[in-house]
Amino acid sequence: MQNTVLQVIHSHRSVRSYRPDPLPVSLVETIIAASQHTSSSSNMQAYSVIAITDAARRQRLSELCGNQKHIAEAPLFLAWCADLARLDRACRLRGYTQVTENMESFLVTALDAAITAQTAAIAAESLGLGICYIGSIRNDPQAVIDLLKLPRWVFPVVGMTVGYPQGETPLKPRLGLEAVLHWEAYNPNQDEALLRYDREMAATGIYDNRQVLVPGRPDQVEQYGWLEHTARRVSKSVRLGLREVLEKQGFALK
């Protein structure tokens, strides 16, 4: 089963090389207007997006996000933010006090920001643009908050570069459906699917055909693949200062 929307979704790849062509304001507004039609918890629309086109500001964001050059090179950077500040204004207009010091409040607004960003991504790709999510916007969130002048109750959840792709970007295979789709109850028996995907990813050459020791067998080596790459990443603690900045912004996470 296929249609044009599914074709766009199945063609997604993270683009990290862009043409310098600026994006018309009307095009950016078209993408964001489309994203506004995303589902939102209780229609609260608890998100905001900051569009950054200024070269100096994009360069600074690049530095804050691990010196990723495509952040400075892409003509547009979108900072998707969890935003309870607008709801606080709504409460004041009606004589209420917003309760923000709980985990659910943050999850609601972070999810609103995330799913709206994904709709924007699909909209942008349908118009011939490329995108790349930038999780490293959370490397130094306080610096990003200061740079973008985010008020209390607004927090940068994820960034996104947007522009016309420069050259072709390979399409990565995804995990088999049997690894992510569970019928009726969670199925923990995923080893075969994970090992198969590991071989598929290694075969793409994305890991430069590196080799790694086989766990528990120091005398044997195998191709470095998705399993090794992913396990290394999740075995390290990262961005340990997030909670402190979240609390400073008004999200106590109780």
The pLDDT tens digits for 105-128 are 999 999 999 999 999 999 999 999
Residue 125 lies in a domain: yes
Report the sign of the C-alpha dihedral through residues 219, 221, 227, 232, in that order: positive
Residue 229 lies in a domain: yes
Q: What is the pLDDT of residues 89-98, one digit of tens each?
A: 999 999 999 9
Residues 29 and 88 in one domain: yes
119, 140, 169: which is the final residue of a domain?
169
For residue 53, the model assigns a pLDDT of: 98
Residue 244 lies in a domain: no
pLDDT band at 215 (very low <50, low <70, confident <90, very high): confident
At residue 164's C-alpha, the angle toward residues 49 and 56, to 5°, is 55
Which residue type, as a one-letter code, is found at position 180?
A: V
Q: Is the pLDDT of residue 216 over 80?
A: no
Residues 127 and 187 in one domain: no
Burial class (CB in 10 A: 0-12, 13-18, 19+), 126: middle
Burial class (CB in 10 A: 0-12, 13-18, 19+), 43: exposed
Strands 211-214 and 217-223: antiparallel
Distance, CA of 170 to CA of 187 (rounded, Å)? 31
Burial class (CB in 10 A: 0-12, 13-18, 19+), 86: middle
For residue 75, the model assigns a pLDDT of: 98
Domain boundaries, position 183: 177-234
Are the beta carbons of 117 and 78 closer than 8 angstroms? yes
For residue 218, the model assigns a pLDDT of: 76
Share of the chain above pLDDT 90, in %: 82
Q: What is the pLDDT of residues 14-43, one digit of tens each?
A: 999 999 999 999 999 999 999 999 999 999
Residues 135 and 11 in one domain: yes
Calculate mean pLDDT across residues 194-220. Answer: 85
Residue 63 lies in a domain: yes
As given in the structure block, the two tokens for residue 123 are 């909209």
Which residue type, as a one-letter code, is found at position 70?
A: H
Residues 54 and 76 in one domain: yes
Residues 43 and 151 in one domain: yes
Residue 43 lies in a domain: yes
Residues 126 and 226 in one domain: no
Distance, CA of 163 to CA of 158 (rounded, Å)? 17
For residue 116, the model assigns a pLDDT of: 98
For residue 96, the model assigns a pLDDT of: 96
Rg (CA), the chain: 20
Domain count for the chain: 2
Q: What is the largest CA-CA distance in the chain?
A: 70
CATH code for the domain of 46: 3.40.109.10
For residue 16, the model assigns a pLDDT of: 97
Q: Is the pLDDT of residue 209 over 80?
A: no
Nearest to 162 by CA among 2, 28, 43, 4: 28
Residues 38 and 112 in one domain: yes
For residue 46, the model assigns a pLDDT of: 97
Residue 190 lies in a domain: yes
Highest mean pLDDT among 148-157, 194-203, 233-242: 148-157
Residues 116 and 227 in one domain: no
Residue 252 lies in a domain: no
Share of the chain above pLDDT 70, in %: 100
* Average pLDDT for the chain: 94
For residue 221, the model assigns a pLDDT of: 81
Residue 91 lies in a domain: yes
For residue 119, the model assigns a pLDDT of: 98
Q: Is the pLDDT of residue 140 over 90?
A: yes
Burial class (CB in 10 A: 0-12, 13-18, 19+), 157: buried
Residues 217 and 124 in one domain: no
For residue 118, the model assigns a pLDDT of: 98
For residue 134, the model assigns a pLDDT of: 98
Lowest mean pLDDT among 35-39, 56-60, 98-102, 125-129: 98-102
Residues 137 and 223 in one domain: no
Residues 124 and 65 in one domain: yes
pLDDT band at 207 (very low <50, low <70, confident <90, very high): confident
Which residue type, as a one-letter code, is found at position 58?
A: R
Residues 95 and 160 in one domain: yes
